[in-house]
Structure 1
């Protein structure tokens, strides 16, 4: 292992400030309960599914304007994109672009998701306007949108992200996986017989991250036990919780996802770990989703 390289990377990470303004803004806007291990940057967004018929509302410093597009893009055979609302502002050194997805379907799960999306998008935009009014100088950008990880006849795994930049930046991503035909949200706990999966997955993640550090000769850094590369302010990874962020791939593999600063220094970005199905076989309810 190249000690000079490790020291240089560690020093670069330590020199990147996490501004108090950024932490305050994210604390205001990203309203999701904290997990057992405390993090400075809480995780936002809750259940997320698929996005919408391009119905765009541009909100600038002038009165709002609206455009409607005729084409209706479809995701899969059951769940389809219906609408999304887009909040935008560009004023001096302050910019915001917030896409709010909605999905088709009449189930209680989907209706609840759409209500949540609409409320969170509006709240995020209103908070942005309040924050820039309170800032005396500097710049700020908020960018929120969505990505589709998996789109099959049966499943849709969809992630919403929010990136807030004030000097430095932080990104949070929250996935939701939907059974398209049943129009239900698949939770992590619903995949397993009991809570044994928590320890099985947690220990695998710990070993996998430690192996990554060895294989890359220290280029990768993770806050796991037995290493010096963690920040006391963020703590050490102890394990996943029942609401840990995840998605399911097209091949039916379970992938755990961690936000920026959640399990590693900011320069590592979002961290994902695919969990081998054979490791989970004894605790899975079935192989309907995880294969």
Structure 2
């Protein structure tokens, strides 16, 4: 997007935002956030210049402040993002107005639909739930519904598993205080891997810090032109399985870590139409395997970029 176009869209956004009634809760959150941002900007980006002037026949020194325009613009943009996110969390009306407005929706197609933290002594659940903006039908609507269900199911299962773990811990001699000291955390978050005018690639992750086997990752690749799912075949063509297999095997052969299993040990053999992937900023698919799926745990979740 050209700088002039971006400036015009920011000005339009500002006008629209000023017409929206801001809830009291949002005003307080904005005040605190702006205070922190202003301190940081003031410390890093303010330049002070001593200027000599004459006043009543005397030379007087005063300070002139020069602001770094780029940093100040960044602060405005950060504030705008905060307003949109906080508004979605606090005011359903704000969320509805935003979805109906193409200028606001054009800034990003992915919004934090709900953000919260719950702590009950046994555990702390921190959640960031994304939503594809303006998704009233088609695949994007399905994605939003799937994400909400996945998050709800994951949190319920985590609470159930932690309760069972606590019961076993107490039954074997542990105390309530000792269990609380474990400070168990459950996190649900997301990352936008690629977002262009035509493409959106999003990864939803859930994990519990006490049990590595509970990690959940869901990948969503959306064609924004026709609101459909992007597949590996769409990106690599009809022969996508062979193309991906050859690339992955070559990358494993070139790896010197010794962490990858051979085929007899359950190592990589082939991808399938259900194989997980996301799209990176270069527009290439990146195939992802779960921990322990094709390599030792030290390899983490192996990723393989497939270049076209």
TM-score by length of 2: 0.57
Q: CA deviation at 1:167?
A: 5.4
Is the aligned partner of 1:256 residue 2:287? Answer: yes
Going from structure 1 to structure 2, the CA distance change for 1:223 and 1:68 (only over 3 Å counts) comes to farther
In structure 1, runs of 5+ residues without a counterpart are 1-52, 58-65, 227-231, 278-291
Correspondence for 1:144: 188
Structure 1 residues 150-159 or 86-95, which shifts more? 86-95
Correspondence for 1:209: 252
Query: In the aligned structure 1, how far is the partner of 2:279 from the partner of 2:296?
Result: 25
Q: CA deviation at 1:272?
A: 1.1
Going from structure 1 to structure 2, the CA distance change for 1:182 and 1:79 (only over 3 Å counts) comes to farther
Query: In the aligned structure 2, how far is the partner of 1:165 from the partner of 1:132?
Result: 11
Query: In the aligned structure 2, how far is the partner of 1:272 from the partner of 1:82?
Result: 26
Query: In the aligned structure 1, how far is the partner of 2:136 from the partner of 2:205?
Result: 25
Deviations 1:193-250 (A, max 9, x none): 53x321331232122112112xxxx3x5112338xxxxx5xx2222111111112223
The partner residue of 1:244 within 251, 275, 283 is: 275
The partner residue of 2:115 within 76, 86, 89 is: 86
Aligned 8 A contact 2:232 2:285 in 1: no
Is the aligned partner of 1:98 residue 2:124? Answer: no
Correspondence for 1:122: 152
Query: In the aligned structure 2, how far is the partner of 1:254 from the partner of 1:75?
Result: 29
Deviations 1:99-129 (A, max 9, x none): 2211122332111111111111111122222
Correspondence for 1:185: 229
Greater helix proportion: 2
The partner residue of 1:221 within 256, 259, 276 is: 259
Going from structure 1 to structure 2, the CA distance change for 1:247 and 1:266 (only over 3 Å counts) comes to same
Aligned 8 A contact 2:232 2:240 in 1: no
Correspondence for 2:305: 274
Correspondence for 1:161: 205
Deviations 1:59-90 (A, max 9, x none): xxxxxxx7349696989848623452235322
Report SS of the residue matched to 2:282.
coil
Query: In the aligned structure 2, how far is the partner of 1:75 from the partner of 1:262?
Result: 42
Aligned 8 A contact 1:257 1:271 in 2: yes
Report SS of the residue matched to 1:210.
helix
In structure 2, runs of 5+ residues without a counterpart are 1-83, 170-178
Query: In the aligned structure 1, how far is the partner of 2:87 from the partner of 2:267?
Result: 42
Correspondence for 1:112: 142
TM-score by length of 1: 0.59
**Larger Rg computed on CA atoms:** 2
Query: In the aligned structure 1, how far is the partner of 2:260 from the partner of 2:104?
Result: 36
Query: In the aligned structure 1, how far is the partner of 2:299 from the partner of 2:162?
Result: 28
Query: In the aligned structure 1, how far is the partner of 2:104 from the partner of 2:228?
Result: 16
Q: CA deviation at 1:169?
A: 6.0
Query: In the aligned structure 2, how far is the partner of 1:170 from the partner of 1:224?
Result: 25
Report SS of the residue matched to 1:54.
helix
Q: CA deviation at 1:181?
A: 2.6
